């Protein structure tokens, strides 16, 4: 089977950044429970329990990996079940925003029964980019449920990187 990747357009807009510290109904409850359990020692029971669950998992936000290479920052996000046409990647005032919608529908028709299932939802994730990203040359590709965004460094940023020699004591 041929490996096909879909190139996505990255739109550059001059908009106000989306706040990343949005209110979430359960955050207040968790903070209060953490305060109660803090009397029993640190870390709290909830910290140990939630350590295994990524914070993005419960909020419908995709988990993102960001890796720095010599010439660029490489961002990847796993988005299973999302179609490229339902993705929107924008870059505005140093904030990269990934929006998308997942829609899945299944129908089973038999002589004795009819089953119809629908799953859908939207997500949005905004990240403030590191300084020194060349926003005019950002590229995004989507293949096999993985969104990859290459954020090249500016020539000024490349010159400022300096390797520090480590001396044995």
Please report the DSSP string for 66-128 in residue order.
EEE-SSEEEEEEE-TT--GGGEEEEEETTEEEEEEEEEEEEEEE-SS-EEEEEEEEEEEEEEE
Domain that holds residue 115: 7-19+62-159
| Among 78, 41, 64, CA closest to 129 | 64
Q: How many domains does the chain have?
A: 1
| Residue 102 resides in a domain | yes
| CATH code, domain carrying 144 | 2.60.40.790
Give me the tens of pLDDT residue by residue for the chain, a chain 169 residues long.
Answer: 556 777 777 776 665 554 545 555 667 777 777 777 665 555 544 455 545 444 444 456 678 888 888 888 899 998 887 888 889 999 888 888 998 888 777 788 887 878 877 777 888 888 888 888 888 899 999 998 899 999 998 888 777 767 788 999 7
What's the pTM? 0.56
């Amino acid at each position: 089977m041929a490996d096909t990747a879909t190139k996505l357009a990255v739109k550059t807009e001059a908009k106000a950044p989306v706040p990343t510290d949005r209110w979430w109904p359960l955050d207040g409850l968790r903070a209060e429970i953490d305060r109660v359990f803090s009397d029993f020692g640190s870390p709290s029971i909830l910290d140990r329990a939630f350590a295994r669950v990524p914070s993005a998992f419960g909020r419908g936000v995709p988990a993102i990996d960001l890796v720095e290479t010599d010439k660029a920052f490489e961002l990847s996000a796993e988005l299973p079940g999302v179609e490229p046409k339902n993705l929107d990647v924008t870059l505005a005032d140093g904030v990269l925003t990934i929006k998308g919608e997942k829609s899945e529908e299944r129908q089973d028709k038999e002589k004795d029964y009819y089953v119809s299932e629908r799953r859908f939802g939207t997500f949005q994730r905004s990240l403030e980019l590191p300084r020194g990203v060349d926003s005019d040359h950002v590229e995004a590709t989507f293949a096999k449920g993985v969104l990859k965004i290459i954020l090249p460094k500016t020539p000024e940023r490349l010159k400022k990187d300096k390797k520090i020699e480590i001396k044995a004591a």
